[in-house]
A and B are shown apart, each in its own frame.
Chain A
């Protein structure tokens, strides 16, 4: 059966060259010219947030994943949201990269053709495929910027909530310290003979006085702990502004993959179209083989009828009768 297909292939070689080579090439060329597709890529380096030697985990990160996996996961989820994509779209319109009329289609391309992958423990590869090279680059650039802004806002909002909370706690602690000191001073005024024992409750024989001294010290300790926490959060909040320098760094700026002449996206589309272009040729070949019941060789006669071919005679050409 294979020999029959080969025979048909070689017999109608001109047709099959046209169908199996010419058609796919033409289709691929048309695909590149009519439906250009560009692929842009950027690479981001992601570090675990670290401020003045104290390591902390970013909000929402899974401590069992690498920084790049966390970042890739976060960015992938963000791009899946309409709000994030819409923000990037608005930014593209504001920059003049696209018109308002094109926004929805660009946003759609972004939703379906945006790919974030972890390329190592800290390296994140971001790719997008679209129909205009400038839009591709701008989408990547604005996506990274918007994502950074979102991270900053999130961190700052959380820091502000924490700072407000700890400010209130510190104030309450200060009030407790004041109240404890007032109570101690009042007791000492009412009992002039008593001494505070250099602030050590263990060296004071009077249990009432020792208790008042202990209360003052506890209030002061609590106030100090809260003040330390508040200072740490304030430091983190201040560091959030430098998040692009410390946590996320764009190593490879957005660039087109495969060059401008024949970009990678177009090449992939062309390859797919070319592969599909071969199908008609194969269908034609199968149809010819199916419809052609003529005898093509001695083996067919032997197989079909069990008759021996006693001689094969080439074409007699002009001399034939």
Chain B
């Protein structure tokens, strides 16, 4: 296993990638762009509602947002919502926004949503096996994607290094807004480590699928103080609207 790159390299390579300068040794081409997002506007608007409910760290060098999105289990819609939140923030603020995928267990991550070509990502870069890959999210110039890549059995060690080397902290100096697609809390052994990467975590709950017990466990693993709120996804109540108003 290769040693991860030292922290100062992160900021330098990110700056180069964003500014569109020729790639240095060990960094991906700055010209890579994702396909246009295929999430509907109303979905982005609901995601906007979610991120706006969180307190913003204001003032000082780190006057920015660091939002994690997680769920109790796989396939509850957290990656779509993380993408929606990142898009909404990028559009609303016009600031540099990064969607960072830290769910190494997902087979259908941001790569599918943004229709990225197969390639390396955070895992390979952290392991020293590949260059940092930052992908610009079309049609925005201020939104960037950092796919997870493939990590295999070393996910827990990788997650530990991610926190230990303060990679997120260095990224914060380059991105005012960072949205982290965290792994599902109950299904992944290292989920507690992942949860510590974000200031606030939004928990995605799928209507009619997530149980109260699942949510309790996820909240326990994350820590109650870290949970900024719950997003009820795929909310399709069966009760007619007129009757629902009476209840």
Given contacts A11-B238, A311-B232, contact A295 B46 (CB under 8 A): no
Q: Is A6 an interface residue (CB 8 A)?
A: yes
List CB contacts (< 8 Å) of B195-216 with chain A.
202-203, 205, 207-213, 215-216
Beta-carbon contact of A296 and B79 below 8 Å: no
**Does any Cβ of B come within 8 Å of A314's Cβ?**
yes
Is B236 within 8 A of A305, CB to CB? no
Least distance between B31 CB and chain A CB atoms (Å):
26
Is A309's CB under 8 angstroms from B231's CB?
A: yes
Q: Are the CB atoms of B229 and A316 closer together than 8 Å?
A: no
Q: Quick check: is A191 within 8 A (CB to CB) of the other chain?
A: no
Of A8, A295, A296, A319, most B-chain CB atoms within 10 Å: A295
Which residue from A7, A294, A304, A312 sits with its C-beta under 8 Å from B209? Answer: A294
A287 beta carbon closer than 8 Å to chain B: no
Whether A7 contacts B229 in the complex (CB less than 8 A), given A305-B212, A313-B234, comes out as no
B231 A311 Cβ-Cβ under 8 A: yes
B235 to A310, Cβ gap below 8 A?
Answer: no
Would you call A308 an interface residue if the criterion is a C-beta within 8 Å of the partner chain's C-beta atoms? Answer: yes
Interchain CB contact (< 8 A) of B53 among A9, A11, A301, A310: A310
Interface residues of B in 216-247 (CB under 8 A from A): 216, 219, 227-240, 243-244, 247
Give bound CA distance, A293 to B213, whole Å. Answer: 8
Contact between B238 and A294 (Cβ–Cβ < 8 Å)? no
B122 at interface, CB cutoff 8 A? no
A304 to chain B, nearest CB (A): 5
Confirm or deny: B47 has a beta carbon within 8 angstroms of a beta carbon on chain A: yes
Write out the residue numbers on chain B whose beta carbons fall within 8 Å of the beta carbon of A6: 238-239, 243, 247
A104 to B113, CA, bound (A): 80
How far apart sit A32 and B40, CA to CA, in the bound complex (Å)? 57
Q: What separation, in Å, do the CA atoms of A304 and B214 have in the docked complex?
A: 12
Q: Is the CB of B234 within 8 A of A294?
A: no
**When the two chains form their complex, are residues A296 and B237 in contact, meaning their CB atoms are under 8 A apart?**
yes
In whole Å, how far is B120's beta carbon from the nearest beta carbon of chain A? 21
Q: In the complex, which residues of chain B have a beta carbon less than 8 angstroms from the beta carbon of A311?
A: 46-47, 49-50, 53, 229, 231-232
Asked if A321 lies at the interface with its beta carbon under 8 angstroms from chain B, I say yes
Separation in Å of the B244 CB from the closest CB of chain A?
A: 8
Please tell me the number of chain A residues within 8 Å of chain B, measured between CB atoms. Answer: 32
In this complex, what residue of A is CB-closest to B209?
A294
**In the bound complex, do residue B81 and residue A293 qualify as a contact, i.e. CB atoms below 8 Å apart?**
no
Measured in the bound complex, the distance between the Cα atoms of B203 and A168 in whole Å is: 111
* B38 at the A interface (CB under 8 A): yes
Asked whether, in the complex, the Cβ of A313 is within 8 Å of the Cβ of B210, the reply is no
Residues of B contacting A307 in the complex (Cβ-Cβ under 8 angstroms):
203, 215, 219, 227, 229-230
A165 at the binding interface (Cβ < 8 Å): no
Cα distance, A301 to B235, chains bound together (Å): 13
- Across the interface, do A308 and B239 meet the contact criterion of CB distance under 8 Å? no
B25 to chain A, nearest CB (A): 34
Residues on B close to A: CB < 8 A? Answer: 38-40, 43, 46-47, 49-50, 53-54, 77, 79-81, 108, 112-113, 202-203, 205, 207-213, 215-216, 219, 227-240, 243-244, 247
Chain A residues close to B by CB (< 8 Å) = 2-3, 6-11, 13, 293-298, 300-301, 304-305, 307-316, 319-321
Instruction: Give the top 9 A-B pairs by smallest Cβ distance, nearest first.
Output: A310-B229, A10-B238, A11-B238, A310-B53, A311-B50, A312-B235, A293-B211, A312-B232, A315-B234
**Known A3-B247, A307-B230; further 7 A-B contacts with Cβ < 8 A:** A8-B238, A10-B240, A297-B207, A300-B212, A301-B205, A310-B50, A311-B47
